[in-house]
Structure 1
Amino acid sequence: MKILIVNPPHLSIGSRLAGEHLPPLGLLSIGGPLIDSGHEVSLLDSDYFNDSIPSVVQKIKEVNPEVLLMGHSGSTSAQPVIEDISRMVKLRNPELKIIIGGVFPTYHWKEILQKNESIDYIVCGEGEETITKLVSAIEQQSELNDIRGIAYRNSREIIKMPPAATIKSLDDFRIGWELMDGYHYTYWGKRKAVVIQFSRGCPYPCTYCGQSLFWKKWRHRSAKSLVDEMEMLHKKMGVIVFNFADENPSSNPKAWREFLQELVSRNLKLILVASIRADNIVRDADYLHLYKKAGFERFLLGIENYDEAILENIKKAGEISKDKEAIQLLRQHNILSMATYVVGFGEEKPRDFYNSLKQLLSYDPDQVQLLYATPHKWTPYFEEVRDKEIILTDQRKWDYKHQVISTRFVKPWLVILFVKAIEIFMQTRPKALIRLFFHRDARLRSAMRWYSRIGKRVWFWELHQFFFVTPLSKERMKMKDFWA
């Protein structure tokens, strides 16, 4: 069958100001099995082109596929865009079969199928195996009642099949890297880049995160298989930067060390960036030199909050002392640290923002990223805040970069000013500026300057969006009523 995979535009986030984009790994991951099953598959990355919705619809018409697949890594905020595209496409071509997938559709399958008749099928959970069975059934016009992991509508009702089995071996399904042809994906200062995964899932039960729920269990690829793939991408496609999509790639220390050693043995001279738990950095203190030799230049560390009571409540399972130690260890091994800090987990007062700044200063990370607590309905955290009021009813903005939950003691305009003040203070403090201009490693100086240039543009853009573009809700609405 002729299949078009669409990565819809994500127009609400300021990171696109960098002028750099990473490929949609999730869509490439389902593209590979479809190609290997004999289908004619192409990718339309409308996020790369920053397309308007009418432009996306026109490009789909020009390709004229038999099956249209859509998904997005920004799942909650992307869903309204996906639904707008599907409605407009179906008006032009009622016979086209539309399939969507991702985290949000996995949990909101019923309401999506109820309110949008343009969407025919939803793949729930991991899609590599499910999508090939579903497309085969569509092609052969056969029954769907033996395909697990899908939701669909027949002439009488909406049907949800039992969940598909968790993929045991992540090496069994090939990523369709050839679908990147025609796109020049870059990151880290215009260097050719891809997103990659060593593992899926997370063994930690943080209440605000849906990773452990969606992926079911933590699994990893074989070290040799992944490094072979990275070497191929580097030597045949010129990829230099590998951005790891894992929530926590080092959950299994033995497997992680094996991967690092295998990568070091190839001497590929890559640039690697990833997220990792601070306590795993401390755990691996004796062989952090392997991290550096493998090519890691920055790790994102989820600090989340300064209040240990809040950290315990959201089941972060971290320790402030280990957070600090991890940043110091990374600096000793010439690896940058980015601390993410989340606003909105508690009922902040002005003094809490001051305490947050003091905490971040004591950590002394190389870079910071402040985010807003954004509850998703399928997470335990949602149940904790279901009766709280929200200030933003535009679902396209539910992307961690816009305040969603109302704060009782601080007005939204003051929240964003506090957030922006913390960001500017952290990035312009003397220690940060000294590293920015005089760090002994030229590559890290370049990386920090690249991030600072982007951060400056995004800083102004987000303020402008808040005060002049994004309308806050005028009606008082509780979280549970919004999702009712």
Structure 2
Amino acid sequence: MRKSPERKQAPKKVKRVALVTAPYHSGVVESAGTWLNLGFVYVAGALREAGYEVDYYDAMALWHDQDQIRKRLEDFKPDAVASSAFTAAVFAAIGVLRLAKTINPEVVTLIGNVHATFCYDEMLQADHDVIDFVVRGEGEHTLVKLLDCLNAGDDPAKVNGLAFWRDGGVVTTAAAPMICDLDALPTAWDLVEWPIYKYRAKNDARLAIVSSSRGCTQNCSFCSQKLFWQRGWRTRSPEAFVAELEMLHQKYGVKVAMLADETPTMDRARWERILDLMIERQPGVRLLMETRVIDIVRDEDIMDKYRLAGVEHIYVGVEAGDQAKLNLFRKGTKTEQSRKAIDLINQADIVSETSFVLGMPTDTKESIAETVELAKMYDPDMAFFLAIAPWPYADLYPELKDYVVTRDYSKYNLVQPVIKPTNMTVEEVEKELAMASKKFFMHKFENIEKLTPWKQEFMLSVFDILMNHSYLSHQMKDMATQSKKMPESVKNMIRNVKAAKRALSNEPIAPLP
């Protein structure tokens, strides 16, 4: 709802800005490694270019508690504190802003990202005492304009891309335009605390998150990305992207980079140019990426370039094994395309990963068991069975809302079921999801010797991660004790994880074809 803007008394001048990630953990995101917040790298770059002093503070990656966050804020003495959160982490992010207000009631507090962009009204209704401004959409330009506006003593209602509380109601300003020239955005890689960012599957190799494009033109009914990016897609130049990889390797020792793009391969000519440049320049960075099933099928004739360029791990979202559910999810793919895409990734000797969305209102124990058998048949190296998360802003939400059992967003993490199917309890869903993972990985590790040597080593590292660092640790330990067909290599891993890790100290690297 809109309120007529009234001039708010300007706070003291904002000079120092702390960007603080939400200290949220679910055993999912952090299981494979420690991931930096790429959005804050860009926001910090924009703020610094505009003359602000910035602290990039990844409290999540550092596993800092409230006392440690308090000390960092007290030491830096920011004039503004901004946090960013996906839905499951939003309460933790608001907690950071609340802590900042207890330290300094005059500090300007801000929050952004997907959940805040769409659920700002609910957030401000509940927590306007600690949230001064919600940044809707991309933050690089909006945040700078807002702080400049406050420093000038002007009215923030003039700044596009905001929501805030005034006179007992929520004020929203017009949407900010999308940023056109992504190559022109400044970054603040030098503010990143690099030693903490590691990829466990490659002997704790230094890990970066990078972006070659922004946006998603797909129409998946359960997803948030198409909404946040307004179904648009913008790209960086292949030359600028590959040069950034070279710089990250040479200057900061990065060996592995996760591509943050939702659809990096959408334009085949552009993507092939990136692959050719990586083959030519050999930037020293291996890529982990997500892309579309249909793009992998399209690229059957250049999968060798993926490997030569250093693409080592590809995730494709299969999500469902029956066409009716794929149609409900509006994936725009056929079941046979999903299987072929995984086959092509495997044939290229690249790690294949996929996921299946379970816990829908029509699911039963039998339908979940059928999905596990389908996953075995598709034969990805890794498959994860995720609880549907009914984002309140997603297209699918109206069909799911009557089955939602909690609005505790901290549980919307794809691990904890928050929907009760018609013929199952929530507890049964949780049990069946765990059983699905155990059955799939038991099958995978019982057949590990069918993989190429480098993949066998990689999967042993994955086994260590699943047993010791993930939400699936209990299921993996059960699997290890129950399986009668487990190869000796995996049994040895179970007996002495530390010894196996020493044996893998030469990072498992995909050999070039």
TM-score (norm 1): 0.90
Deviation at 1:460, TM superposition (A): 4.8
- Map residues 27-426 of structure 1 onto 2, 5 A cutoff: 27-72=40-85, 75-116=86-127, 117-155=129-167, 157-181=169-193, 183-187=195-199, 188-189=201-202, 190-216=204-230, 217-390=232-405, 392-426=406-440
Contact kept, 8 Å, 2:214 with 2:261, in 1: the verdict is: yes
Amino acid at match of 1:86: L
**Is there any run of 5+ residues in structure 1 with no aligned partner, and where?**
465-484
DSSP-derived class of the 2:301 partner? helix
Deviation at 1:15, TM superposition (A): 4.6
Deviation at 1:420, TM superposition (A): 2.0
DSSP-derived class of the 1:387 partner? helix
Deviation at 1:376, TM superposition (A): 1.0
Distance in 1 (CA, whole Å) between partners of 2:194 and 2:345 is: 37
Deviations 1:46-66 (A, max 9, x none): 112212234323321222111
Contact kept, 8 Å, 2:35 with 2:197, in 1: the verdict is: yes
Distance in 1 (CA, whole Å) between partners of 2:69 and 2:375 is: 42
Deviation at 1:156, TM superposition (A): 6.1
Distance in 2 (CA, whole Å) between partners of 1:424 and 1:456 is: 11
Deviations 1:14-71 (A, max 9, x none): 55355x3111111111111111111111112111221223432332122211111111
Deviation at 1:462, TM superposition (A): 6.8
Distance in 1 (CA, whole Å) between partners of 2:38 and 2:271 is: 21
DSSP-derived class of the 2:396 partner? helix
Distance in 2 (CA, whole Å) between partners of 1:345 and 1:311 is: 12
DSSP-derived class of the 1:300 partner? strand
Report the counterpart of residue 455 of structure 1 in structure 2.
466
Deviations 1:156-190 (A, max 9, x none): 64311100011122112122111103643111330
1:26 paired to 2:44: no
Report the counterpart of residue 468 of structure 1 in structure 2.
none
Contact kept, 8 Å, 1:366 with 1:432, in 2: the verdict is: no
Deviation at 1:138, TM superposition (A): 2.0
Amino acid at match of 1:174: P
Distance in 2 (CA, whole Å) between partners of 1:14 and 1:315 is: 25
**Is there any run of 5+ residues in structure 2 with no aligned partner, and where?**
1-14, 477-513
Aligned-pair identity (%): 26
Contact kept, 8 Å, 1:203 with 1:251, in 2: the verdict is: no
Contact kept, 8 Å, 2:207 with 2:255, in 1: the verdict is: yes
Distance in 2 (CA, whole Å) between partners of 1:320 and 1:156 is: 51
Amino acid at match of 1:247: E
Report the counterpart of residue 3 of structure 1 in structure 2.
17
Report the counterpart of residue 507 of structure 2 in structure 1.
none
Cα distance change on mapping 1:334 and 1:17 into 2, 3 Å: closer
Cα distance change on mapping 1:91 and 1:462 into 2, 3 Å: farther
Contact kept, 8 Å, 1:310 with 1:345, in 2: the verdict is: no
DSSP-derived class of the 2:81 partner? strand
Contact kept, 8 Å, 2:318 with 2:356, in 1: the verdict is: yes
Contact kept, 8 Å, 2:361 with 2:422, in 1: the verdict is: no
Cα distance change on mapping 1:417 and 1:152 into 2, 3 Å: closer
Deviation at 1:434, TM superposition (A): 4.1
Distance in 1 (CA, whole Å) between partners of 2:368 and 2:303 is: 33
Cα distance change on mapping 1:358 and 1:168 into 2, 3 Å: same
Distance in 2 (CA, whole Å) between partners of 1:333 and 1:88 is: 50
Deviations 1:265-313 (A, max 9, x none): 1122421111111121110011111110111111111111122111111
Q: How many residues align?
A: 457
DSSP-derived class of the 1:368 partner? strand
Q: Tell me how large the CA RMSD over aligned residues is.
A: 2.0
DSSP-derived class of the 1:315 partner? coil
Contact kept, 8 Å, 2:361 with 2:400, in 1: the verdict is: no
Distance in 2 (CA, whole Å) between partners of 1:361 and 1:182 is: 38
Distance in 1 (CA, whole Å) between partners of 2:471 and 2:88 is: 20
Amino acid at match of 2:152: Q
Distance in 1 (CA, whole Å) between partners of 2:29 and 2:226 is: 26
Deviation at 1:459, TM superposition (A): 4.8
Distance in 2 (CA, whole Å) between partners of 1:438 and 1:268 is: 31
Report the counterpart of residue 505 of structure 2 in structure 1.
none
Contact kept, 8 Å, 2:345 with 2:352, in 1: the verdict is: yes
Deviates more, 1:137-146 or 1:117-126: 137-146
Cα distance change on mapping 1:14 and 1:284 into 2, 3 Å: closer
DSSP-derived class of the 2:147 partner? helix
DSSP-derived class of the 1:16 partner? coil
